[in-house]
Structure 1
Amino acid sequence: MNHTPNTRPAFSFEFFPPKNPEGTERLRRARARLTALDPAYFSVTFGAGGSTRDRTLETVLEIQSEGAVAAAPHISCISSSRAQLLDLLTTYRDHGVRRLVALRGDLPSGTGVGGGLGEFRYAAELVAFIREQFGDHFTIEVAAYPEFHPEATNAEKDLEHFRKKVAAGADAAITQYFYNPDAYVAFVDRVRAMGMDIPIVPGIMPITNYTQLARFSDACGAEIPRYIRKRLEAYGDDSASIRVFGIEVVTRLCQRLLDDGAPGLHFYSMNQAGPSEAIWNNLGLAQPR
């Protein structure tokens, strides 16, 4: 892996758009606490098939209007036409947004890649379109999969998809979450060997709910190492013990990644401040830039 000792790692947090007024207030409270940590940006997700399009836009513009932390909307090409994407991207540009997370996006249930799901099939096409229309206005982040995309037929083809995104103009990548640091190190080494030197920021999922984590991981292909799975299973419904163990495990993971030269950490906050704050404090990151 490449180490960047003279560059302060960049830390960021991901939110999903709230579904109701109560969720909006919870997110505002969490965001206020995480703003105090002075992150590089807050990203906001985009639902399968564009199902949260309006709520994503509202959340991004609210964050952007506050001015404390930059907003980075997820942009998905699934179920979106060129005209819709151009309109949305123009809106973001006009509101001062300078960073995007460009993704193919999750397919709506019951569909496959192709037929009627939008004018672009892959994230590399979306990245190329953004560069064509907006030049270098946006910093573009793309997804990376250290344990490989669940739909990839093999590791080589998955790496080739990643190479195409970088070639199309991606500035940096954020990984799917993982709990095996060796998978991340091996992925970065392979990417570097292919001549790609963009920052690859580890995605970090705090552990707070085993049932939810197992469901997410089965869907996205993220491996939960056996020792973690067995410990979590043993705690049963003891949520306090799951939280303590989860923070301990993820803190060790983050420290290993930073020690190995990771260019930052991107926390999948699940719209909660507490777990990410606890890991942050354990790592001693609460310090001025």
Structure 2
Amino acid sequence: MKLTSAYQSADCTISFELFPPKTTAGLDKLCQNVDRLTDFGPKFMTCTYGAGGSSQGMTLDVLRQVKSRTNLPVASHLTCVGATVPQLCDFLQQATDAGVDYIVALRGDPPQGSDRFVQTEGGLQYANELVELIRERFNHFGILVAGYPEVHQEAPDAQTDLTNLKRKVDAGADVVVTQLFYDNADFYRFRDDCDRAGITVPIVPGILPVTNFAQAKRIATMCKSAIPASLEDAFAKCQNADQEFEIGVEHARRQTIDLMENGVPGIHYYVLNKTEAAERLLQGLSFAV
């Protein structure tokens, strides 16, 4: 299935993001969770890999398993970090041989302890260059790229960030999937800005059902995503983990319903290889089939 066709329905399409487990037992558990997530009718699943390119092999193993068990299209993340152009092409060939359908093309984060990305000698500096490489040499892949409703942490301003996003789309990206956010108003503003900038590909919100206050704070800090005061207050009043779970799931469910009512083409869920929160927040909702 072509990536763009996943978003041609009048209804909302969903997809899930996984990450490669570190053990065989972890892979077995992930496969069980994938089976449960499939019950909600996702159109595809994606898989990340570790910082600096680590666990790429396991990423392809996960995607082979997912495709075998579900017959769904699958997408692999790919970043410019620590890789030359020949190494990027080698991975893209491995992904082709593994039956991967789509690539999530990213520049990648700076190394831990640094706030600046350093281009690898013989490698690429920007995500739009990676999109161009894929289009030129591996054009059979559908391509997803990242968008940032609250502005990428390295961008000097929102307009520069938007210009960079349009550069990725103009290079050949099919779909924009956003960084996580906790306030839908940030997404709607971003979507309007994309429209004014002439970005016409689907803009798909990314949602993380956070069920732990400490985790929420940590992830928000890393991603430069603001936690609404009302949500922070609700978490602060919790007396146990069960209450935190309920609050996080309910917030993500409200986000989901509001996004669907406001006509998003799809929603991409960062499920952290778990199913409990996703199952609870998606229960009873109707998505594209």
The interval holding the TM-score normalised by the smaller chain is over 0.9
2:226 is the alignment partner of 1:247: no
Match of 1:154 among 151, 154, 157: 157
Matching residue of 1:41: 44
Alpha-carbon deviations, 1:57-106, whole Å to 9, x = none? 22122223335222111111111111111111112223332211111112
Match of 2:99 among 96, 99, 117: 96
2:186 is the alignment partner of 1:183: yes
Taking the aligned partners of 2:259 and 2:8, their CA distance within structure 1 comes to 13
Report SS of the residue matched to 1:235.
Answer: coil
Q: Residue 118 and residue 148 in structure 1: after superposition, are their counterparts in 2 closer, same or farther (change >3 A)?
A: farther
Stretches of 4+ aligned residues off by more than 3 angstroms: 115-118
- The alignment covers a number of residue pairs equal to 282
Taking the aligned partners of 2:218 and 2:80, their CA distance within structure 1 comes to 25
The letter for the 2-side match of 1:24 is: L
Matching residue of 1:77: 80
Instruction: Quote the offset at 1:20 in angstroms.
Output: 1.5
CA RMSD, 1 decimal? 1.8
Instruction: Decide whether the 8 Å contact of 1:141 with 1:171 is kept in 2.
Output: yes
2:206 is the alignment partner of 1:203: yes
Sequence identity percentage? 36
Taking the aligned partners of 2:267 and 2:288, their CA distance within structure 1 comes to 17
1:95-114 map, 5 Å: 95-111=98-114, 112-114=116-118
Instruction: Quote the offset at 1:115 in angstroms.
Output: 4.6
Taking the aligned partners of 1:67 and 1:281, their CA distance within structure 2 comes to 20
The letter for the 2-side match of 1:154 is: D
Matching residue of 1:31: 34
Matching residue of 1:258: 260
Match of 1:51 among 44, 50, 54: 54
Taking the aligned partners of 2:70 and 2:138, their CA distance within structure 1 comes to 22
Taking the aligned partners of 1:266 and 1:243, their CA distance within structure 2 comes to 20
Q: Identify the range of structure 1 (11-20 vs 61-70) with the bigger mean alpha-carbon deviation.
A: 61-70
Matching residue of 1:275: 277
The letter for the 2-side match of 1:85 is: L
2:138 is the alignment partner of 1:134: yes
Q: TM-score, normalised by structure 1?
A: 0.92
In structure 2, stretches of 5+ residues that fail to align are 1-6
Instruction: Decide whether the 8 Å contact of 1:38 with 1:69 is kept in 2.
Output: no
Instruction: Quote the offset at 1:117 in angstroms.
Output: 6.7
Matching residue of 2:4: none
Alpha-carbon deviations, 1:126-179, whole Å to 9, x = none? 0000001022x1110000000111111111111111011001100001101111
Q: Residue 86 and residue 116 in structure 1: after superposition, are their counterparts in 2 closer, same or farther (change >3 A)?
A: closer
Q: Residue 22 and residue 154 in structure 1: after superposition, are their counterparts in 2 closer, same or farther (change >3 A)?
A: same
Matching residue of 1:218: 221
